[in-house]
Amino acid sequence: MANENVNIVSPCENKEQAGDSESTVETNKNSEESTETQSLSKRQRKKLLRQKKWEEERELRKQKRKDRKQQRRLQRQNNQDEERTEIDRNPRKRLRKVVTLSSVRLVVDCSFDSLMHLKDVRKLHKQIQRCYATNRRAPFPVQFIVTSLGGQLKQSMDEKDKGWVNWKDISFKTEHYSEVVAKEDLVYLTSDSPNVLTELDQNKAYVIGGLVDHNHHKGITFEKAKELGIAHAQLPLSSFVKMNSRKVLAVNHVFEIILAYLEKGNWQDAFFTVLPQRKGAVALDQDGAQDQEEEEEQESDFDSDEQAPPQMGKNGEDTSS
C-alpha cells in the first residue's frame, strides 16, 4: 500500500490563512479605491471626501437633532409652567384671558384675484394671516369671514400654509359676499366713499376689499359697492389723523383698527394703536387743527423711517381702496 501524505491543518493555521486572505482582499480593495481616487479630478476627489465625511457624521447629526428637539420640548414646558405660575399669581392676567365675541362681522372680499400678480396675491395671503392672528388674540374678536376664496389665493394658501383648513373662528366661503350676507346688512369700507363711518353697528357686516394693487385700480371697490346697491363708508381717518402718506390702508390695518375701536371705544386711540409709524400719522385736535409740536416729532420719525421702514409694511399697504 502506497504511502499517502496527509496534510493536517490546525484550526489556528486556518484562521491565519483566512486572515491573510481577508487582508489581501482588503489590500486589493484599498488599492483599487486608491487607483480610482487618483483617476478622479481634484474637484471630484473633494466631493468624494465631503460625501465620505457626511456619511461618517450621520449618527452624530442624528443625535444632535434629538438633543435639540428635546431641548425645545423642555423649553416649551418651562415657558408654559412659568406662564401658569404668573397667571395664578396675578389675577389681572386671568382677566385678560376672558374674551367677549362681538356680533360685528368683518368680511374680506377676495373677488379681485384676477386683477393681481402672484406676488401681490401672496401679500394678501400674509395680510389675511395677520387678521386671523390678531382676531384670535383680541379681547373683542369679530366674526371673521373670507369670501370668493379661490384662484391664486387658494393656491398660495394650499402651498404656503396648509394648516389654514384647520383655522378656528373664521369662515371661508367660495361664494361672493353678497350671497353670504343680506345686502341690507352690508357696508363696504372704501376710502373713496363720501360717507364717513362714525360708529360701528353691531348688526352690520363690514366689507374690506382684498386687493393689493398699488393704485392700479383706484376706486374699484367704491364702484363695485355702488353697482351692487350696498351701503359704503370710509373710516373717519381725516377727522382724527393727518397722514404724511396716502390714506389707503392694508387689509390687516383696517381689520386691526376695527378691533382696536371695539376695545378702546374711540377712533383716535384705535388709529394710533394700529397705524405704522412710517405712515407719518399726526393727531388732530378737536377743531381739526394740527398739533404743531406733535407734527414735528412725527415728521422726524417719518424721515428716519423712510431709510429703514419697519417690518409691518413689507406685506403691502394698499388694499382697503
List, by residue number, the catalytic residues.
Answer: 213
Q: Are 257 and 276 in contact (CB under 8 A)?
A: no
C-alpha dihedral over 243, 246, 249, 253, to 10 degrees? -30
With b for 16 or more beta-carbon neighbours within 10 A and e for fewer, the 196-223 pattern comes to: ebeebeeebbbbbbbbbbeeeeeebbbe
Cα 124 to Cα 252: distance, rounded to the nearest angstrom: 9
Cα 291 to Cα 206: distance, rounded to the nearest angstrom: 31
Bridge partners of residue 282, in order along the sequence? 242
> Grid coordinates in use for 47?
466631493
Cα 292 to Cα 295: distance, rounded to the nearest angstrom: 5
Angle between helix 118-137 and helix 151-160 axes, rounded to 10 deg: 70
- Torsions phi, psi of 315, nearest 5? -95, 10
What lies within 8 Å, CB to CB, of 90 at 6+ separation is none
Cα 236 to Cα 193: distance, rounded to the nearest angstrom: 11
Cα 197 to Cα 203: distance, rounded to the nearest angstrom: 14
> Grid coordinates in use for 192?
373713496
- Torsions phi, psi of 51, nearest 5? -65, -40
* Chain centroid to CA 33: 51
Number of H helices, E strands in the chain: 12, 8
